[in-house]
A = this chain, B = another copy of it.
């Protein structure tokens, strides 16, 4: 058993998905694009529709010791809508399935659903269905979201070209640092049975971990400027991993510059306090839910006008590989360690 278990670890999530979904041939005219982007693309005769789904399991994706159920419900919707926006689509419907163990009360579920509904209201998505069932082991939340877009506006992962600017919204590493603080304080609290910790100094990074938002504002501003990204993905597993997805799907290389990678002051302070290397976390920390996208070189000025977007480098010819250039000028090859790698090693 032990020997075969390594199987899945060695494959990694993406290897496993590739293994399980190989040889899938789309049969229906309405299925335009299947596995392999932030969402599937389907065509029912009107607008194009994107479909995406994400599952969160207790103990793996969230710890109920420090995660308020309202926030959890909100976040579970947001991580799905982030995928909808990453296709440059607009959210429409949400389906919510939950499995609960005996420890959950109706009040607890109402709290969870309050968060779910809050997110649906804020992002103008309709909760149209789902499933409620039991589990022998904690909470599982599975959400499916739909979105719509005109064909010409859909941003896939595969459209980037050489010289396109690589853009990232907001700042990186904050959600990961929020998680580190929560886990540290929980450990101290459990071991010492002391007073509840004062976390007020960590407001920003905790908010990024507990109540992330999907960057609808960036999508709207890009639309105002008439910009359709040539490729786009949301950053859930870390910048490196996501950027490598874009280059692989687009058939390009890339060059990014370390000093341009956005890290908030609050995040940097927590990194220093905990002795963590800012760049490693910004590149590989998960759950930022920022948007990583590419635009043609001539959009430089328009992107600057929007504000809140960092241009961190540019796409190159595939033969040039994927590199990160440090302040000193030396270039190191980009690797995707990813959030999972960071957590487990």
Instruction: Out of B100, B106, B124, name the residue touching A19 (CB < 8 Å).
Output: B106
Find out whether the CB atom of B133 lies under 8 angstroms from the CB atom of A20: no
A31 and B133 contacting across the interface, CB-CB below 8 Å: no
Instruction: Tell me, yes or no, whether A105 is within 8 Å of chain B by CB.
Output: yes
Q: Is A140 an interface residue (CB 8 A)?
A: yes
Flag whether A256 is at the interface (Cβ < 8 A): no
**Chain B residues closer than 8 Å to A180, beta-carbon distance:** none
A47 contact set on B, CB distance < 8 A: 44-45
Closest partner residue, chain B, to A21 (CB atom): B127
- Within 8 Å of chain B (Cβ to Cβ): is A172? no
Expressed in whole angstroms, the Cα–Cα distance for A97 and B128 within the complex equals: 19
Please name all residues of chain B whose beta carbon is closer than 8 Å to the beta carbon of A100 when the two chains form the complex: 8
Pairwise interchain contact B93-A132, C-beta atoms closer than 8 A = no
How many copies of this chain? Answer: 2
Chain A contact residues, CB within 8 Å of chain B: 1, 4-5, 7-8, 11, 13, 16-17, 19-21, 24, 26-28, 30-31, 33-35, 39-40, 42-47, 49, 51-61, 92-93, 95, 97-100, 102-107, 109-110, 113, 117, 121, 124-138, 140, 142, 144, 146, 148
Mostly helix, strand, loop or mixed at chain A's interface? mixed
Residues of B within 8 A of A24 (CB): 117, 126-127
CB within 8 A of A16: which of B59, B109, B117? B109
Q: Which of A19, A34, A146 has the most CB of B within 10 A?
A: A146
Q: Does the CB pair A8–B105 fall under 8 Å?
A: yes
Contact between chains at B59 and A136 (CB < 8 Å): yes
